[in-house]
Structure 1
Amino acid sequence: MKVMNSFFVKSVLGTLSLLFALSVSAASVQDDMSREAIAERIKPIGKHYVAGKSSAAEESSGPRSGEQVYNKYCTACHTSGVMGAPKINNAADWEDRLAQGMDTVLKHAVEGFNAMPPKGTCSDCSEEEIQAAIDYMIEDI
């Protein structure tokens, strides 16, 4: 009888332990199933473009500094002087361009000129941001 009682007690304790373990793990599963967790897992990874609506490129991204614009859009050409691009803070490269006046330099940067693409491929840059990038490139001349 003692063996039977011992087996019964062990069975009950084992069952209770199993139930406790399952309830604890169920709580962590519920955390993963919260609305916020599900929304985070299934959120879109991109946006779509609807014809006739303004695109992200047409919307202003807000004012950026000349250094930010230069580092993102201008550095590829203006660091090495690719295709005749004037190098940053190189007086000899900028001399003839600056002699034409800042309005002309800005116009060429905005509209494109020779190998320079319009706005240097920064389609969402404002004229002020382009001017700030030019100012950044010539500030130490």
Structure 2
Amino acid sequence: MRALLPIAALLLAACSSGEAPAAPLTAEQSAALVPKDPRLAQLYAGSCKGCHTVKAAQAPLTGDRTLWNPRWAQGEAALLAAAIQGKKGMPAGGQCFECTPDDLKALIRFMAGREP
């Protein structure tokens, strides 16, 4: 019974946050997502989408909060630093040569499922 308490607490926390619990997305569901802003949509299509909608790329799928939530917990500053510097297989700046730090922040929010 005690082993179920942490699970119950997590479920209650998810319910009380007003958000539905995260569910994994398929690559097809991820690929169908597009930023609302036309400029960001163009930047995303030209640099992020190629890896963040393909499971074999081992990048967290766009919109899949089950993959993004642990990263998001590190804070936006850490995610931005990783995007600017590159991380594992991701090149510096995600090879978005036109992206400003604000663009990268907005793209991270979109991919993490936190676009307003």
Shifted more, 64-73 versus 98-107: the winner is: 64-73
**Is the aligned partner of 1:134 residue 2:108?**
yes
Task: Flag as ranges the 4+ runs of structure 1 deviating above 4 A.
Answer: none
Listed one character per residue, the Cα deviations across residues 57-89 of structure 1 (whole Å, up to 9, x for unaligned) are: xxxxxxx73322111111100011343201010
Instruction: Show the counterpart of 2:7.
Output: none
User: Is the 2:72–2:112 contact (alpha carbons within 8 Å) kept by the matching residues of 1?
Assistant: no
Instruction: Show the counterpart of 1:53.
Output: none
> Number of matched residues?
78
Listed one character per residue, the Cα deviations across residues 27-67 of structure 1 (whole Å, up to 9, x for unaligned) are: xxxxxxxxxxxxxxxxxxxxxxxxxxxxxxxxxxxxx7332
SS at match of 1:97: helix
Q: Which of 78, 86, 89 is equivalent to 2:52?
A: 78
Instruction: Summarize the Cα distance change of 1:102–1:70 in structure 2 as closer, same or farther, 3 Å threshold.
Output: same
Instruction: Show the counterpart of 1:125.
Output: 99
What's the C-alpha RMSD, in Å, of the aligned pairs?
A: 1.9
Q: Which of 56, 72, 77 is equivalent to 1:103?
A: 77
Instruction: Show the counterpart of 2:90.
Output: 116
- Separation (CA, whole Å) in 1 of partners of 2:111 and 2:69: 13
User: Which structure: larger Rg?
Assistant: 1
Instruction: Summarize the Cα distance change of 1:77–1:71 in structure 2 as closer, same or farther, 3 Å threshold.
Output: same
- Separation (CA, whole Å) in 1 of partners of 2:74 and 2:53: 22
Structure 2: segments with no counterpart, 5+ residues: 1-37
- Separation (CA, whole Å) in 2 of partners of 1:108 and 1:131: 11
Structure 1: segments with no counterpart, 5+ residues: 1-63
User: Is the 1:89–1:137 contact (alpha carbons within 8 Å) kept by the matching residues of 2?
Assistant: yes
Instruction: Show the counterpart of 2:62.
Output: 88
Q: Aligned letter for 2:48?
A: C
TM-score by length of 2: 0.59
SS at match of 1:123: coil
Q: Aligned letter for 2:102?
A: E
